[in-house]
Amino acid sequence: MPFTALHPTAGRLDATQPDLGCAMDWAQIHKSGPRVLLTCPECSWGVHAKISRYGVRFFCHDPGRPPSCELSNESWGHHMLKLELAGAIRAAGWYAELEVPAEDGSWRADVMASSPDGTERMAWEAQLSPITVEDIRARTARYRAEKIAVCWVSPHKKPPQWMGAVPGVRVRAPEADGPWMVDDGVAGFNYTAGGWTFREAELQRFVRWALHGQLLPCRSLPRYRRVTRVVEDRYWVSLRDLWWTSRQSVRSQNEHEEMRQRQEKAKQAREKQQEAEAERRRKEQEEADRLRRAEEAALRREEQEKRNRIRMEEMRQRQTEEETRRAREQAEQEERDRQALEAAKAWWGRLSRQQVEELFAAVAALAWREEQLRVEIPENPSLAAHFAYGVPVYSQGRYHALYGIVRPCPALVSLSPQLSYHRAFVRNAQEIREFGETPAGRITHLDLPDHEQLTMD
Model confidence pLDDT, tens digit, residues 420-447: 888 999 999 888 888 876 554 578 899 8
Residue 325 scores a pLDDT above 70: yes
Beta bridge partners of 218: 243
Per the CB < 8 A criterion, the answer to whether 98 and 4 are in contact is yes
Region 235-252: mean pLDDT is 91
In a 13 Å sphere around the CA of 230, the CA atoms on its Cβ side amount to 1
Give the per-residue pLDDT at 238.
84
Average pLDDT for 75-81 = 80
Q: CB–CB of 448/431 below 8 Å?
A: no
Mean pLDDT over the full length of the chain: 87
CB distance 244 to 186 below 8 Å: yes
pLDDT score, position 440: 46
pLDDT over 60 at 337, yes or no: yes
* Per-residue confidence (pLDDT) for residue 456, from 0 to 100: 36
Q: What is the mean pLDDT of residues 213-218?
A: 94
Of the pLDDT bands very low, low, confident and very high (cuts 50, 70, 90), residue 457 is very low
What count of Cα atoms within 13 Å lies in the side-chain half-sphere of residue 50? 13
For residue 205, give the DSSP letter.
H
Q: What is the pLDDT at residue 438?
A: 57
Type and span of the H or E element at 241: none
What percent of the chain stands above pLDDT 70?
Answer: 96
CB-based contacts of 10-16 (< 8 A; 24+ apart in sequence): 12/41, 13/38, 13/59, 14/97, 14/98, 15/49, 15/57, 15/58, 15/59, 16/57, 16/83, 16/86, 16/96, 16/98
